[in-house]
Amino acid sequence: MLSDKTPNNRKNPLVRAFRKYHRVLAIILCLPLVLTVLTGVAYTIAVDWFDQTDAIELLMGLHTLKIVHLEKFYPLLNGIGLIGLLVTGMTMTNLFKKPKSVNQNPE
């Protein structure tokens, strides 16, 4: 992991800003994403492996937060948050950075 004190980050304030936004988004989205993953896996295990149809309503209510009447917004916010994490994370990897030109003749 690169520190913020490397020469590239001192020159590029955009990378520093994306690191900051990525860190904040990751902290905010940690619990909702863990809840979504755990309930999704628990749903699959309960239905496919143990044939527990009684747990379906509870697990799907937790999975979409229908229990607290957020079923219309929760998946959308999860998706937008993940797209934000993806964009900020990809920009920090330098995949979109132009390659340095190699000088063949150093004279």
For the record, the structure tokens of 19 come out as 């690191």
**Residues of the chain falling short of pLDDT 70:** 1-11, 101-107
| Residue 18 pLDDT | 82
Dihedral of CA 13/15/19/21: which sign? positive
The alpha carbon of residue 13 and the mean position of all alpha carbons in its chain are separated, in whole angstroms, by 22
| Residue 88 pLDDT | 85
Mapped onto helix, strand or coil, the DSSP state of residue 5 is coil
| Residue 38 pLDDT | 94
Q: Map out the domains of the chain as residue ranges.
A: 7-92
Q: How far apart are CA 100 and CA 107, in angstroms?
A: 18
| Residue 5 pLDDT | 52
Q: CB 39: neighbour CB atoms within 10 A? A: 19
Find the radius of gyration of the CA atoms of the chain: 21
Whether the CB-CB separation of 47 and 1 falls below 8 Å is answered with no
